[in-house]
């Protein structure tokens, strides 16, 4: 679930996932600071209470306030911040893990911020919340490898057919564009491609919710890594699972 509010140039946004587990405030603090480097493949890392992209300090937090099931950082600077002010908070309550940024002052003009920095913030926050939630309990019964391959074969055949109907001579660029749009749209809208419908399976976030557009895109970009390693790294890093759902 994602919520966004803008008032007087200040942004308040919230992301949350379902979680039966209730991490402590210390776990949430350490999980966020340690996990940011892992989900960005080391591009962004935490040093003390700041987030860095290489030598650039993106965001600087003040001292964290840690309670039993929450952590709260004041936002005090960084190149993405127009002026100090606002807070970033992560808490476990009511069966959900919620991360909220309150009255943040982005340096970018709001329309540009909404198209660039904000989607990245939502993606990384969601991935980190799903990591904190964990995969237990599972969102459903995991689909077998053979069913996943069967679904993939149907989807590839469909994308090749659509490429031909588009009048292309199976140019790779056209095929990849159609395949990307098709998979991201299907995963984000229903979690189910045509192949998933045939094989009786669905892509879900590990908390059982639908993947977001950015999460689906991230999952798709990681697919080649999974093919090379013969391991579902795209699901591990994107916080997703493929589960059996025999009913349409």
Task: Report, in angstroms and rounded to the nearest whole number, the Rg of the chain calculated over CA atoms.
Answer: 20
Q: What are phi and psi of 128, to 5 degrees?
A: -70, -35
Range of the domain at 29: 2-133
Q: CA 48 to CA 144: how far, in whole Å?
A: 42
81, 197: one domain: no
Q: Do 66 and 23 touch, CB atoms closer than 8 A?
A: no
- Comparing CA positions, the residue from 14, 126, 32, 17 lying closest to residue 73 is 32
Confidence of residue 171 (pLDDT cuts 50, 70, 90): confident
pLDDT(144) > 80: yes
Dihedral angle sign, alpha carbons of residues 180, 184, 190, 192: positive
pTM exceeding 0.75: yes
pLDDT(247) > 60: no
Q: What are phi and psi of 20, to 5 degrees?
A: -75, -25
150, 74: one domain: no
Exposed/middle/buried for residue 95 (C-beta within 10 Å: 0-12, 13-18, 19+): exposed
pLDDT(170) > 70: no
| Overall number of domains in the chain | 2
162, 191: one domain: yes
Q: Do 165 and 157 touch, CB atoms closer than 8 A?
A: no
114, 11: one domain: yes
Within 10 angstroms of residue 216's Cβ, the number of other Cβ atoms is 24
Task: For residue 162, tell me if it sits in a domain.
Answer: yes
Task: For residue 140, tell me if it sits in a domain.
Answer: no
Mean pLDDT, residues 212-229 taken together: 94
pLDDT(72) > 80: yes
Name the domain boundary from 83, 105, 133.
133
Q: CA 228 to CA 238: how far, in whole Å?
A: 17
Mean pLDDT, residues 60-89 taken together: 97
Mean pLDDT, residues 83-106 taken together: 96
pLDDT above 90: percentage of residues in the chain: 86
12, 34: one domain: yes
Which residues neighbour 232 within 8 Å (Cβ) at sequence distance 6 or greater?
226
Residue 7 is predicted with a pLDDT of 82
């Amino acid at each position: 679930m994602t919520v966004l509010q803008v008032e007087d140039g200040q942004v308040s946004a919230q992301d949350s996932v379902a979680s039966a587990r209730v991490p402590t405030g210390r776990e949430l603090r350490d999980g966020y600071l340690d996990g940011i480097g892992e989900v960005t493949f080391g591009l962004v890392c935490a040093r003390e209470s700041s987030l860095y992209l290489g030598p650039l300090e993106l965001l600087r937090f003040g001292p964290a306030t840690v309670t039993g099931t929450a952590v709260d950082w004041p936002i005090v600077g960084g190149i993405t911040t127009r002026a100090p002010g606002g807070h970033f908070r992560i808490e476990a309550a009511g069966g959900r893990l919620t991360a909220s940024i309150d009255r943040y002052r982005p340096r970018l003009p709001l329309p540009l911020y909404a198209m660039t920095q904000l989607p990245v913030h939502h993606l990384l926050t969601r991935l980190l919340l799903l990591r904190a939630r964990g995969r237990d309990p599972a969102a459903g019964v995991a689909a077998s490898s053979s069913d996943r391959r069967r679904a993939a074969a149907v989807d590839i055949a469909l994308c090749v057919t659509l490429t031909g109907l588009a009048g292309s001579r199976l140019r790779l660029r056209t095929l990849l564009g159609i395949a990307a749009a098709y998979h991201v749209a299907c995963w984000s809208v229903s979690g189910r491609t045509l192949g998933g419908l045939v094989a009786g399976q669905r892509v879900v976030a590990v908390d059982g919710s639908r993947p977001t557009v950015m999460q689906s895109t991230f999952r798709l970009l990681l697919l080649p890594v999974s093919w090379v390693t013969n391991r579902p790294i795209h699901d591990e890093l994107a916080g997703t699972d493929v589960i059996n759902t025999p009913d349409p």
